[in-house]
Chain A
Amino acid sequence: MPGPAIDLTIYDDEAALLAGLRRHDPDACTCLVKRFAPIVYARALQLTGDPDEAEGVLQTTFIKACDALDGFAGTSSLSTWLYRIATNEGLMLLRRRRPQVTLDELAETLRPDELPQHRAPWVGDPQRAALDGELRAELERALAALPESLRVAVVLRDLQGLSTEEAAEQLGLTPGALKVRLHRARLRLRESLATYLERSQRGDDERL
């Protein structure tokens, strides 16, 4: 069942949305979901790498938010509050998984095979074609393929925009250790993108 079509602009104002939710207005519920669920789900999926787990995080986040609505003081924005709940839920889930952390993931320096292999500049401007279609899919694939401890570092830092200190605290790491994971994750993603861009460039040349 697709969500009902409603005019989302009636709750443009966050205070009005909160008031609507507190008096249990169905349109306010719909508005809350339509406005914030896509990003909460996307972030949960990036953190966990698993669609079912991401939906679990999404649902728990919204249930907790519903239950805590009356106590929500509004000192942060509704979105910041929701994203914080979602990040906590996602990280808790990862901790519960008790992953087999490999030595590879715990390395505290860059390994020689992680150093840049591709030395060619990127032709064209991948930024422009950026996030439509294939490049986006490629980046998501590369992100999902990272070992969990590296993926979490880059998701918190670059996708969710936490500071080094905030991300380190969330993960129980020193800022230095967080940075090493971040550097390693970025380098691996750069190599994946470079490989992809080289391949698609070759494909373009062959088609000419």
Chain B
Amino acid sequence: MSASDHSPEQRAELIARLSDSLDGELPAELRAELQAHLAGCPDCRVVLDTLGRTVRLLRDLGDAPPPLPPAIEARLLELVARRLGAQG
């Protein structure tokens, strides 16, 4: 079976389950059902894999902020020092 065999409603439901499974929020019974489906559906396996990678990239993005632009840092430092009366 390929994903093109699924009706749009089935596909939407499958996607929701794939996404939930990435969060560990899919109930055990539905998880087993999903596993069985994935075993016979290469398209859904690709979607699960690439959706999982997307989520991991997002988490990495959240954990590793880019450096703060120097002008913004300078303005904030001045503000904080003034607020705390810590003019150095």
Interfacial residues, chain A to chain B (CB-CB below 8 A): 1-4, 21, 24-30, 32-34, 37-39, 41-43, 46, 55, 58-59, 62-63, 66-67, 69, 109-110, 112, 115-116, 118-122, 126-127, 130-131, 135-136, 139-140, 143, 154-155, 158-161, 164, 179-180, 182-183, 186-187, 189-190, 193-194
Measured between beta carbons, the chain A residues less than 8 angstroms from B20 are: 179
> Which of chain B's residues 37-88 have a Cβ closer than 8 Å to chain A?
43, 46-47, 49-51, 53-62, 64-68, 70, 72-77, 79-81, 83-88
| Contact call B72/A55, Cβ cutoff below 8 A | yes
| Contact call B79/A62, Cβ cutoff below 8 A | yes
Set B23, B49, B87: member contacting A121, Cβ < 8 A: B49
Which residue of chain A has its CB nearest to the CB of B87? Answer: A26
Question: How many of B's residues come within 8 Å of A, CB to CB?
Answer: 47
Instruction: Describe B's contact surface by its main secondary structure.
Output: helix
Interfacial residues, chain B to chain A (CB-CB below 8 A): 3, 8, 11-12, 15-16, 19-20, 23, 25, 43, 46-47, 49-51, 53-62, 64-68, 70, 72-77, 79-81, 83-88
State how many angstroms separate the Cβ of A119 from the closest Cβ of chain B: 5
